[in-house]
Amino acid sequence: MQIVDAQVHIWEPSRPDRPWDVVLQPHGGGQFLAEQLLAAMDESGVDRAVLVPPTWLGYSNDYALEAAQRWPDRFAVMGRFDPSTPDAPARLTTWLDQPGMLGVRFVFHRSPLLELL
């Protein structure tokens, strides 16, 4: 039987081309890299994981997708998606064309997305 962790966050330190949200910060330290997660998975007997980018990365799925593309037998991504943008319908039609992308993660706990409900 394969063991899959259905929601795991990985993140790099904040950097100019991939800055963190200024309000939200990680509660687990400055980074938790894909390599660290793989080591923890191996130690715990977890075969695969679904990566969900943490909220302080905004709607950027880049790091999670890079990990899923590097280790496709271990990771897939449930990507964060902003449904409030004008191009959202067009982006959604090709969402799964991104290598490593498994699905969409909608997060409605922050305005203005909460208003869409």
What is the reported pLDDT for 62? 96
Average pLDDT over residues 59-74: 97
Amino acid letter at 82? Answer: D
Cα separation, 48 vs 45, whole angstroms:
9
What are the tokens at 77? 């991504």
pLDDT digits (tens, 9 = 90+) for 84-113: 889 999 999 999 999 999 999 987 666 566
What are the tokens at 15? 């950097």
What is the reported pLDDT for 3? 98
Cα separation, 98 vs 110, whole angstroms:
26
* Best CA proximity match to 88, nearest among 54, 116, 46: 116
Give the pLDDT band of residue 63 (cuts 50, 70, 90): very high
Hey, what domains does the chain have and what are their CATH numbers?
A: 4-116 (3.20.20.140)
Contact yes or no for 9/51 (Cβ under 8 A): yes
What are the tokens at 37? 């997660």
pLDDT digits (tens, 9 = 90+) for 8-49: 999 998 888 888 776 667 776 688 999 999 999 999 999 999
Give the pLDDT band of residue 115 (cuts 50, 70, 90): low
Question: What are the residues whose beta carbons fall under 8 Å from the beta carbon of 38, sequence distance 6 or more?
Answer: 71, 74
Amino acid letter at 95? Answer: W
Task: Give the residue with greater pLDDT, 21 vs 116.
Answer: 21
Go through the chain and tell me how many residues it has: 117
Q: Provide the b/e sequence for 34-49 (b: ≥16 CB within 10 Å).
A: beebbeebeeeebebb
